[in-house]
Amino acid sequence: MEEPFLVQTTDYKPLNEGSLAEYLSAIPSVAELLGGSPDDWRVREVGDGNLNLVFVIEGSSGGVIVKQALPYMRLVGESWPLPLERSYFESLALAEQARAAPGSVPRLFATDRVGAAVVMEYLQPHVILRKALLQGRHLPLFAEHMARFLAESLFKTSDLYLTADRKKSLMQKFCANTELCKITEDLVFTDPYRISPGNRWTSPQLDDDAAAFRADAPLKAEVQALKLKFLTSAEALVHGDLHTGSIMVTDEDTRAIDPEFAFFGPMGFDIGALIANLLIAAIAHRVHRQGALGDAYRTWILDQAELVWTGFATKFQSLWETEATGDAFTAELFEDPAGRIALGRMQDRYLADLFADTLGFAGCKMIRRVLGLAHVEDLESIADPDLRAAAERKVLALGRRLILKRSTMTSFNDVLYAVEEIDL
Amino acid sequence: MEEPFLVQTTDYKPLNEGSLAEYLSAIPSVAELLGGSPDDWRVREVGDGNLNLVFVIEGSSGGVIVKQALPYMRLVGESWPLPLERSYFESLALAEQARAAPGSVPRLFATDRVGAAVVMEYLQPHVILRKALLQGRHLPLFAEHMARFLAESLFKTSDLYLTADRKKSLMQKFCANTELCKITEDLVFTDPYRISPGNRWTSPQLDDDAAAFRADAPLKAEVQALKLKFLTSAEALVHGDLHTGSIMVTDEDTRAIDPEFAFFGPMGFDIGALIANLLIAAIAHRVHRQGALGDAYRTWILDQAELVWTGFATKFQSLWETEATGDAFTAELFEDPAGRIALGRMQDRYLADLFADTLGFAGCKMIRRVLGLAHVEDLESIADPDLRAAAERKVLALGRRLILKRSTMTSFNDVLYAVEEIDL
């Protein structure tokens, strides 16, 4: 893998349409990729996210993306400061993910730590997966691609693949990404279950539901057990925010973007994030599109959720068979026939535990999209508040079920039964 | 807590009897503590350990210990290099343990990172717990003290007490202590279960037992599951080597020493290490001292092992009730009556899981003391090889049982039943 160019900016200054051409012309590989004269490069700001400036720069022979962190949360304003260092963590994560799962993330051309900017591949004609799902697009390969991305990026940054010293030196870097982790700790695991100024929900329809969740002590205890796992289980380098808005797709290609929340955490957090957002999309879709076509596409989405899990599990197990170079489960100990059986049984247990984690984290991610600060277009775009609340109530019920029953749901069929019971 | 003096050595050089007075006279607090003229300070090397130089320096009004790392394992020689930085990790750990569990570790006077030395309290008339147990001494307070040390040092470096950013910044420092962790990974979790040049056991008596353990696939799989937990579960700052040789006692006082293996790992590793070594001492004792007195002291040791666990659990739960200031199990969510019940149930589950971890790690620690590189005096001092092998076989059987049955052993009585069945 080529190493990214290191831009030596001396102090932080937000980039803009006027300054970008000069900025990029100093990066030889990027200047060459764009082609022609910097004066002719076209720049537009396209950031629709919550946290960053995002520019597309196109020259005569190609384009790149420049993503720059702002020192506050764009969605909320300067009252919510955010660390610029998250840009550096994004570039570190992109580099590791590219190493672990080649072709699954945008190519990284340059990193500017002080300037808090990353220059990367302009993905075209990719669209955000969430948008594609809202449009009812059938994407023949995305589930397979994401299963592979999850298996490779998680396995190859875990103790099953890395030696302990290599893993810990990587983990050491990401230990400093605490402020973005804190956002997750609060917004996913805590605020939806208490009165918090950032919370919102479809009101008054869901007022009683929100109050019931705040009073649901057994659920809160389970959510906090999952939060403890988020805080302590350094299993692998997780993306940390892998919802359907962090994935770009075409029919042939799939990329995970925006890993600025990356840290060493529980694998189930990433798998659960994706499955949660697919389940939300499935529930929302029949509201958006009634009748047989809506039903069929909902079934297709549910099939993709299942394929993500089963594809992940198959690929992960196969990596464990063929590339177990790490310090965990020292391969040498299991080379005889009895060892292979015992290891196989342990792999099954590992995947069963990971499935339970996945469902638990998926449940947390579903609930926070209805009761917390950040909502999703799948549900927000249901204009009628009664219809929206009805769908959101199903999302809450399914999320709650996944959290409480995660240890007794042993195959994806159990998830599908729960969906059918709740989303009749 | 007073901060240790930072010695500004410019390069590493082993200290010796001749150089120590000058070295210490440059540390004002130490010079004052020793009293009188440096020319009159008495120096002796007392290191009997495997890894370091240890000096006692006494002046007219007091004494200190200087512990300096050597760049290789003293037990094996220069062929086994070891990082000097472990001395720095020891001083970091001593400082954190003193903060978390005041009075439970030696006072730290000075840290010399480049010189790889630590100047600390000379504990007198303390003796090593392992020696006291071999002498059959009744120590009225040590179990209570160690229960408190374990509860405080583990709770107060965990996410139950620390905010996530504070915990991760501490964890970041200890991520670099990989080489000593690697020793544990190899010597405790791996080498006893494979052919390894460092292994030794009472031969030929235990040759078949060693072969059986190397072929015991289900056991190896469980040991590797525990190793995975050692590698990934960053629950708290653990001492990392808390056997009975790392504890100094008098009738009134108890201190944990030598935390150079410290890192963020699973709490059960520390509790299990201590309980393992007490169980070994109990089994060995009846060989050393036959008859009623031997039986009585064996019972006393087993009582202490139980008191360590039950005292720990009580103190840990009480800290959770009163000092839950961390980001895990956000206290605010559980303030109503239903919340208190749900949290209580979760605390019980937490302690049940921790008990299972404790027994699993205890089992690993027991087996490695019989089949691995580093043995313990409790067993080594049994001169008759047949008698020694018989005791060691019991240690192996008990360790194996604890590992395989750890999830179904729900109270310390289950451990005591296993001891009585195996050590008839």
pLDDT band at B79 (very low <50, low <70, confident <90, very high): confident
Does B172 contact A175 at a Cβ distance shorter than 8 Å? yes
- Residues of B within 8 A of A338 (CB-CB) are 215, 217
Work out the pLDDT band at B418, boundaries 50, 70, 90: very high
Q: Give CA–CA dist A89/A266, Å, rounded.
A: 18
User: Does any CB of chain A come closer than 8 Å to the CB of residue B224?
Assistant: yes
For residues A15-41, one letter each, b for 16 or more C-beta atoms within 10 angstroms of the residue's C-beta and e for the rest, the string is: beeeebbebbeebeebbebbeeebeeb
- In this predicted structure, what is the pLDDT of residue A408? 97
A178: nearest CB among B164, B228, B332: B164
- The CA distance from B310 to B318, in Å, is 12
Residue A99 contacts B, CB cutoff 8 Å: no
Question: Measured between alpha carbons, how far is residue A338 from residues A156, A262, A326 in Å?
Answer: 26, 38, 21
Length of chain A: 424
Which single residue is written with the structure tokens 């959720």? A305
Cα(B136)–Cα(A220) distance, integer angstroms? 49
Contact A215 B336 (CB under 8 A): yes
> Mean pLDDT across chain A, nearest whole number?
96
| Closest CA of chain A from B329, distance in Å | 5
Nearest CA in chain A to B217: A339
Instruction: Print the domain residue range for B103.
Output: 5-121
CB of A157 closer than 8 Å to CB of A170: yes
**Cβ-nearest to A159 among B232, B330, B345:** B232
pLDDT of residue B72: 84
Alpha-carbon gap, residue A50 to A187, rounded angstroms: 14
Best residue in A327, A334, A347, A403 for a mutation probing chain B (most B CBs within 10 Å): A327
Query: Looking at B53, B88, B121, which one is the last position of a domain?
Result: B121
Res A48 pLDDT > 80: no
Statement to judge: residues B36 and B175 lie in one domain: no
Do A154 and A10 share a structural domain?
no
Min Cα–Cα distance to chain B from A336, Å: 9
**CB-nearest partner of B346 from A225, A231, A349:** A225
Beta pairing class for A263-265 and A236-238 = antiparallel
Residue B369's pLDDT is 98
Helix A337-371, helix B217-232: angle, nearest 10 = 40
What CATH number does residue A90 fall under?
3.30.200.20
B121 touches chain A (CB under 8 A): no
Distance CA A101, CA A111 (A): 20
CA distance linking residue A369 with residue B343, whole number of Å: 25
Note the pLDDT of residue A1: 56
Q: Does B6 touch chain A (CB under 8 A)?
A: no
Residue B218 in contact with partner chain A when CB distance is under 8 A = yes
- Give the ipTM of the model, two decimals please: 0.95
For residues B397 and B422, the answer to whether their CB atoms sit within 8 Å is yes
Distance CA A195, CA A370 (A): 14
Treating both helix axes as pointing N-terminal to C-terminal, what angle do A267-288 and A337-371 enclose, rounded to 10 degrees? 50
Cβ of A328 and B227 within 8 Å?
A: yes
Confidence band of B1 (pLDDT split at 50, 70, 90): low
Question: Does pLDDT of B370 surpass 60?
Answer: yes
Cis peptide before A125 (omega within 30 of 0): yes
A165, A194, A231: residue with CB nearest B164: A231
> Which chain A residues are within 8 Å of B179, Cβ to Cβ?
165
Q: Are residues A240 and A369 in the same domain?
A: yes
pLDDT category of residue B42 using cuts at 50, 70 and 90? very high
Q: What is the pLDDT of residue B424?
A: 86
Please indicate if any CB of chain B lies within 8 Å of the CB of A6.
no
- B354's tokens: 């921790």
Q: Which of B167, B187, B231 to mutate to test the interface with A (most CBs of A within 10 A)?
A: B231
**Is the bond leading into B204 cis (omega within 30 degrees of zero)?**
yes
Q: Is the dihedral of CA A252, A257, A263, A269 positive or negative?
A: negative
Nearest Cα residue to A86 out of A178, A188, A186: A178
Residues of B in contact with A165 (CB under 8 A): 178-179, 182
Phi, psi of A152 (to 5 degrees): -70, -45
**Does one domain contain both B237 and B260?**
yes
Question: Do residue A143 and residue A289 come from a single domain?
Answer: yes
Looking at the complex, does the CB of residue A171 fall below 8 Å from at least one CB of chain B?
A: yes
How far is the first Cα of chain A from the last one, in angstroms, to the nearest whole number?
Answer: 49
pLDDT digits (tens, 9 = 90+) for A84-130: 999 999 999 999 999 999 999 999 999 999 999 999 999 999 999 99
Query: Do the strands A5-6 and A108-112 form a parallel or antiparallel pair, or are they unpaired?
Result: parallel
CB contact under 8 A, A328 and B228: yes
Q: What is the pLDDT of residues A304-321, one digit of tens each?
A: 999 999 999 999 999 999
- Closest Cα partner for B248 from B136, B122, B411? B122
Q: Which among B159, B193, B339 has CB closest to A231?
A: B159
Name the CA dihedral angle for B144, B148, B151, B153, rounded to a multiple of 10 degrees. -140
Domain boundary among B85, B101, B121: B121
Find the closest chain B residue to A220 by CA distance: B333
Burial (CB < 10 A; 0-12, 13-18, 19+), residue B252, is exposed
| Backbone Cα Rg of chain B | 22
What is the mean pLDDT of the segment spanning B171-196? 96
Cis check for the bond before A259: say yes or no (omega within 30 of 0): no
Taking residues B259-277, what's their average pLDDT? 98
Q: Is B304 helix (H, G, I), strand (E, B) or coil?
A: helix
Cα A170 to Cα A173: distance, rounded to the nearest angstrom: 5
Residue linked to tokens 């069945």: B421
pLDDT attached to residue A424: 86
Note the pLDDT of residue A50. Answer: 67
Interface test with B, best of A85, A174, A178 (most B CBs within 10 A): A178
* Residue in the structure block whose two tokens are 């769908």: A391
Task: Give the Cα separation of A279 and A187 in Å (integer).
Answer: 19
pLDDT band at B11 (very low <50, low <70, confident <90, very high): very high
- Two structure tokens written together for A337: 């026939």
For B182, the closest of A164, A228, A346 (CB atoms) is A164
- pLDDT higher than threshold 70 for residue A283: yes
**Are B21 and B144 within one domain?**
no
Query: How many degrees, rounded to 5, is the angle at CA A241 between CA B156 and CA B176?
Result: 45
Is A383 near chain B, with CB under 8 Å? no
B128 DSSP β-pair partners = B248
Q: Which of B66, B88, B121 is the last residue of a domain?
A: B121
Once rounded to an integer, what is the mean pLDDT over residues A136-141? 96
* CA–CA min distance A113, chain B (Å): 20
pLDDT above 70: residue B49: no
Residues A289 and A373 both lie in one domain? yes
pLDDT grade for A416, boundaries at 50, 70 and 90: very high
Number of structural domains chain A divides into: 2
DSSP A144-189: HHHHHHHHHHHHTTSTTTS-HHHHHHHHHHHTT-HHHHHHHHHHHH
Chain A, 144 to 163: residues with Cβ < 8 Å from chain B are: 159
For residue B292, what are the contacts with CB-CB under 8 A and spacing of at least 6? none
Alpha-carbon distance A243 to A257, whole Å? 10
One domain, residues A89 and A175: no
Entry pTM: 0.96
Count of CB atoms situated within 10 Å of the CB of B32: 11
Q: Does residue B57 sit in the same domain as residue B155?
A: no
pLDDT band with cut points at 50, 70 and 90 for residue A49: low
Q: How many CB pairs under 8 A join A and B?
A: 146
Q: Hey, how many other C-beta atoms are within 10 angstroms of the C-beta on A85? A: 16
Residues B134 and B100 in one domain: no
Taking the CA atoms of residue A370, residue A371, residue A373 and residue A376 in that order, the dihedral angle to the nearest 10 degrees is 0
Least CB–CB distance from B225: residue in A175, A235, A346: A346
C-alpha dist (Å) from residue A349 to A231, A240, B122, B304: 22, 24, 49, 35
Q: Does B187 touch chain A (CB under 8 A)?
A: no
Buried b (16+ CB within 10 A) or exposed e, A248-257: bbbeebbbbb
Whether residue B165 lies within 8 A of chain A, CB to CB, comes out as: yes
Q: How far is B393 from B284, CA to CA, in rounded Å? A: 11
| CA gap A159, A179 in Å, rounded | 25
- Is the Cβ of A139 closer than 8 Å to some Cβ of chain B? no
User: H or E segment at B340?
Assistant: helix B337-371
* Mutual angle of helices B385-405 and B207-214, in 10-degree steps: 20
The predicted pLDDT at position B331 comes to: 95
Q: Please provide the size of chain B in residues.
A: 424
Element (DSSP H or E) covering residue A67: strand A63-69
H-assigned helices in A35-125: 86-100
Neighbours of A386 (CB within 10 A): 10
What is the pLDDT averaged over residues B20-42? 95
pLDDT in tens, A330-351: 999 999 999 999 999 999 999 9
Q: What is the CATH number of the domain that holds A395?
A: 3.90.1200.10
B contacts of A349 (beta carbons < 8 Å):
225
The chain A residue lying nearest B171, using CA atoms, is A175
* Nearest-angstrom CA–CA distance, B375 and B382: 12
Same domain, A195 and A276: yes
In DSSP terms, B58 is beta-bridged to B42, B63
Reply yes or no on whether the pLDDT at A73 is more than 80.
Answer: no
A335 touches chain B (CB under 8 A): no
Q: Check whether residue A89 and residue A236 sit in a common domain.
A: no
User: Nearest residue of B to residue A337 by CA position?
Assistant: B217
pLDDT tens per residue across span A385-410: 999 999 999 999 999 999 999 999 99
